[in-house]
Structure 1
Amino acid sequence: MDALTHVFVGLHVIGIAALLGGFLAQLKAMGAGTARFTPGMLHGALTMLVTGMVLVGLNQAADDPVNNIKIGVKLALLIVILGLVYVKRDEETVDKAAFVTVGALTTANIFNAVLWV
């Protein structure tokens, strides 16, 4: 069971990397006003959602403690991220506020995972 959990943690990190990497790659374009949400950012967010749900299920199945408040906050942030990226995924350019919001919420989600014990 531990090996399976580690596999899904790795996939979760890959999802985070895709979302945050897509954001960071578009920073220069954001300065020029031509930033857009890439398909990799959407796929990264969806990967985070699916692997996060699997990880919660695996932890509960193993009778490991799950901080439901922390998971709820992480899920709420991810739903906002997914909503923004999904709705604006086909737009040629995305306004700066929406783009910065996705980057800030992604960063907040990472710090939430690492710092909230």
Structure 2
Amino acid sequence: MDVLIHLFVGLHIIGIAALLGGFLTQMKAMGQGTARFVPAMLHGALTMLVTGVVLVGLNEAQGSHVDTFKIGVKLAVLVVILGLVYVKRDEEKVDKSLFGLVGLLTVANIFIAVLWT
């Protein structure tokens, strides 16, 4: 079971890397006002959602303690990110503040995962 959990943790990290990497590649365009949500951001957020749900299930099945409040906060932040990216995915350019919000929420989700104990 531990191998399976580690596999899904790795996939979860790949998802956050795709989301954050997609954001970072658009930083220069954001400064020019031409940033857009790239497909990697949507796919990364979806990967995070699926692997996160699986990780909670696997940890519960193994009998490990899961901080449901922390998971709920992370899920809420991810749903907001996913909603914004999904709705605005086909637009040629996205408002700077909206694009920056997605980046801020992504970084916040990382820090919640790492620092909240």
TM-score (normalizing by structure 1): 0.99
Task: Give CA-to-partner distance per residue, 1:15-34, whole Å, 9 cap, x none.
Answer: 00000000011000000111
State the secondary structure of the residue aligned to 1:66.
coil
Q: In 2, distance between residues paired with 1:87 and 1:101?
A: 14
Give structure 2 stretches of 5+ with no counterpart.
none
Structure 2 residue 41 is the aligned partner of structure 1 residue 44:
no
Runs of 4+ in 1 over 2 A off after TM superposition: none
Counterpart residue type for residue 46 of structure 1: L
For the residues of structure 2 that align with 1:31 and 1:100, how far apart are their CA atoms? 10
2:20 is matched with 20
Q: Percent identity?
A: 75
Alignment partner, residue 108 of structure 2: 108
RMSD, aligned CA = 0.3
Q: Distance in 2 between matches of 1:114 and 1:28?
A: 28
- Structure 1: runs of 5 or more not aligned: none
- How many residues are paired up? 117
> Could you tell me the TM-score, scaled by structure 2's length?
0.99
